[in-house]
Amino acid sequence: DQQVKQNSPSLSVQEGRISILNCDYTNSMFDYFLWYKKYPAEGPTFLISISSIKDKNEDGRFTVFLNKSAKHLSLHIVPSQPGDSAVYFCAATGNQFYFGTGTSLTVIP
């Protein structure tokens, strides 16, 4: 049973526009939420995280929003760049580390 779900397997966005990647979770006890980015033939790398006591965390072009009442997490990338094209995994931690199935983002030049 997937405790972290990414319902959009893929997303295409024009360069310079905003990319919004979404993630839903089922367990209200999760402490931390994270986004990882993965390029082909490489391992996932940490991108940004947010504690469950916050509702927003920003790092440069990347902002993560947390809506605890909706059990929903989103990653905003503004402006999107071709180098952002990758698979993005949402993850949540509690007594274990749960990953979503990933969303493949393509930024079109």
Partner 1 sequence: DAGVIQSPRHEVTEMGQEVTLRCKPISGHDYLFWYRQTMMRGLELLIYFNNNVPIDDSGMPEDRFSAKMPNASFSTLKIQPSEPRDSAVYFCASSLSGYITGELFFGEGSRLTVL
**Interface with partner 1 (CB under 8 A):** 2, 6, 31-32, 34, 41-46, 49, 89, 91, 93-102
Query: Do residues 96 and 34 touch, judged by C-beta distance below 8 A?
Result: no
Kindly state the smallest distance separating residue 103's Cβ from partner 1, in Å.
Answer: 10
Closer of 58 and 97 to partner 1 (Cβ) = 97
CA dist 36 and 44 (Å) reads 6
Kindly state the smallest distance separating residue 46's Cβ from partner 1, in Å.
Answer: 5
Residue for token pair 């509702």: 55
Closer of 11 and 15 to partner 1 (Cβ) = 11
> Buried b vs exposed e over 54-67: b needs ≥16 C-beta within 10 Å?
eeeeeeeebbbbbe
Query: Do residues 15 and 109 touch, judged by C-beta distance below 8 A?
Result: yes
Kindly state the smallest distance separating residue 15's Cβ from partner 1, in Å.
Answer: 27
Closer of 12 and 46 to partner 1 (Cβ) = 46
Kindly state the smallest distance separating residue 93's Cβ from partner 1, in Å.
Answer: 4
Residue for token pair 């526009």: 17
